[in-house]
Structure 1
Amino acid sequence: MSDLQLSPQGRLRHLLTLEGLGRAHIERLLDRADELRTRFRGGARALDLLEGRTIVNLFFESSTRTRTSFELAARRLGALVVNFDIASSSTTKGETLEDTLATLEAMDSDAFVVRHKENGTPARLALHARRASVLNAGDGNHAHPTQGLLDLLTIRDHKPRIEGLTVAICGDIRHSRVARSDVHGLAAMGAKEIRLCGPAALLPEADSFPGCTLVDDLDAAIEDVDVIIMLRIQKERIDGLPGFDGAEYFQRYGLHRARLARARSDAIVMHPGPMNRGIEIASDLADGPQSVVLEQVANGIFVRMAVLLELLHKQA
């Protein structure tokens, strides 16, 4: 997929996955996000770098934070944002996604931010895009590249370097696009060890996460780690686990203060949200000094600004 993402000159053409993107491209995006964050925290309220550009949000799954974050990012760069109404669109009448994209592209749309329940849909649209860029805002359990980037930026804010870190990702790994993008990004940046933890039924096949350590004991998974990333668990997934309910899940796989003591003293706690307090993470820990959850949310805007600029700014 790296050939599809990059132009013949090696420039980023689409952002579909962090897998195979490479450290240089990832660091360039993180550095640009850091620069934008500095400008806005220094008093900038808006930039006109994407004035005249049109960005279309194509969300075929419900989303609050990701869509809002992309919209804020685009508007802060001066772009026009169109939130495509899927419910009343021609896709409900049988129009293909490719025809929808071609129609909107003919209206001079410059980029499409796509979320879809089926793996590979953003890549499928990127193959048919003539001029516009496609950004994957989450497809099935395949990838969520901007979430991976904002997680990397947040880790980089708190650690001297990502290279050499030990990271635990805990929860429903099997169905998580966030876990996959985090793993690809962390591996590209040189993390020493990535541990994936959850109930056995929610762990993936080992060959789908090469180089990672699969563990079904959370206490063992977070021993001496530098970073803990907790994932959201859907209620129906818990209900499908024999002998589990919310309380049992928290007892065995929830993060609380006593359990956190097994990690390094300067470990940070992350969560992509929305959080199920008292199931995945204790409320006092979610709001505690080692939690960087709200920093992740804020960093998401700057990462998405950086990606939009990389893809669309003529002077990039």
Structure 2
Amino acid sequence: MDRDEVAAVIDTLRGRNLLTLNELSDRAILEVLDTAELFVEVNQRTIKKVPALKGRVVASLFYEESTRTRLSFETAAKRLSADVLSLAVASSSVKKGESLRDTIATIDALGIDAVVLRHHSSGAAHQVSGYVPHVRVINAGDGQHQHPTQGLLDVFTVRQVLAERVRARGSETGKELFSGLRVLIVGDLRHSRVARSDVAAYSALGAEVRVAAPGTLLPTAVGDWPVEVVEDFDDALAWADVVGVLRLQRERGSGSFVPSPAEFTRTFGLTVERARRLKPDAIIMHPGPMNRGVEID
């Protein structure tokens, strides 16, 4: 990938925030996936670096614990040659009572071009986009609302697997791969921002989505989602082409919504025995972190 190609790709996405996948059309999602595909080759180089964001400053601002998301964003920014400002919230002025707005104002004064934000409050990324409209905001997870890059990563991964199976890389890795695809999402849907983003992404691309969870772990607004709620998890497994497994989010109080982790495993855990119900080529997804022996063996 030469510099002109990189510049052309970046220009198509210039000036956009990424706050929720509900705001992206199927064409916009595919544009992001195609762009990501171009950068896969960079990861295979000895020197994993391109000048796409040279001279740009990206702030990494995480108000919640994170391993995969934070490291992924900071690694990606550095491989695109951006300068990264990483704020350790636990040792910052946030602990002294500084508001999100004032923290953003301070970081903005340093001349940032983009901010990657994870926050415990739903809607925080949208708020920040209003505070600094000249800065690009990427939502790395806001409360129970959305985790758009996880949703994009999940459909990107599924697309790669499906494309490899049909030997259709390149121009034939578009929406047709998802048409009629059967996706089952199981687990703590009430507290999961990943579930909300996955449903938005899969649905936009034409997949059929079903969800399974204890009644206490279904969102109150699940009736407004473009999904079918299934009561028999075991039967649904045989139907699915893709199974997305979600953990019990005990840090958000999900433990009080089920009698015990063991009971959850008995009824909705993807055990080795249950996995035998899956199609031989079914794809199992998990966003991590995994609680092995609870939602998945």
2:180 counterpart of 1:164: yes
Give 1:46's aligned residue. 49
2:277 counterpart of 1:262: yes
2:77 counterpart of 1:62: no
How is 1:258-297 mapped onto 2 (pairs within 5 angstroms)?
258-282=273-297
Structure 2 residue matching 1:138: 3-state secondary structure: strand
2:43 counterpart of 1:27: no
Give 1:302's aligned residue. none
The 1:21–1:43 alpha-carbon spacing in structure 2 relative to 1, beyond 3 Å, is: same
For this pair of structures, how many residues does the alignment match? Answer: 272
Match of 1:76 among 75, 79, 102: 79
Structure 2 residue matching 1:158: 3-state secondary structure: helix
Give 1:240's aligned residue. 256
Q: Is the 8 A contact 1:167 1:195 kept in 2?
A: yes
How is 1:137-286 mapped onto 2 (pairs within 5 angstroms)?
137-160=140-163, 161-191=177-207, 193-207=208-222, 209-235=224-250, 237=253, 239-241=255-257, 244-282=259-297
How is 1:303-314 mapped onto 2 (pairs within 5 angstroms)?
none
Match of 1:132 among 110, 130, 135: 135
Match of 2:39 among 36, 40, 43: 36
Q: CA RMSD in A?
A: 2.0
Structure 1 residue matching 2:239: 3-state secondary structure: coil
The 1:277–1:95 alpha-carbon spacing in structure 2 relative to 1, beyond 3 Å, is: closer
Opposite residue 217 of structure 1, the aligned amino acid is D
Opposite residue 135 of structure 2, the aligned amino acid is A
Q: Identify the range of structure 1 (135-144 vs 86-95) with the bigger mean alpha-carbon deviation.
A: 86-95
Q: Is the 8 A contact 2:188 2:254 kept in 1?
A: no
The 1:239–1:174 alpha-carbon spacing in structure 2 relative to 1, beyond 3 Å, is: closer
Give 2:3's aligned residue. none
Q: CA deviation at 1:201?
A: 0.4
**CA separation in 2, counterparts of 1:74 and 1:60?**
19
Gaps in structure 2 of 5+ consecutive residues:
1-11, 164-176
**CA separation in 1, counterparts of 2:57 and 2:13?**
24
Cα displacement string for residues 270-295 of structure 1 (whole angstroms, at most 9, x for unaligned residues): 1000111111111xxxxxxxxxxxxx
Identity %: 45
Give 2:113's aligned residue. 110
Give 2:7's aligned residue. none
Q: Identify the range of structure 1 (88-97 vs 43-52) with the bigger mean alpha-carbon deviation.
A: 88-97
**CA separation in 2, counterparts of 1:18 and 1:158?**
22
Structure 1 residue matching 2:126: 3-state secondary structure: helix
Opposite residue 157 of structure 1, the aligned amino acid is Q
Opposite residue 277 of structure 1, the aligned amino acid is R
**CA separation in 2, counterparts of 1:41 and 1:137?**
25
Q: CA deviation at 1:211?
A: 2.2
Gaps in structure 1 of 5+ consecutive residues:
1-8, 283-316
Q: CA deviation at 1:208?
A: 5.2
Q: CA deviation at 1:48?
A: 1.8
Q: Is the 8 A contact 2:53 2:81 kept in 1?
A: yes
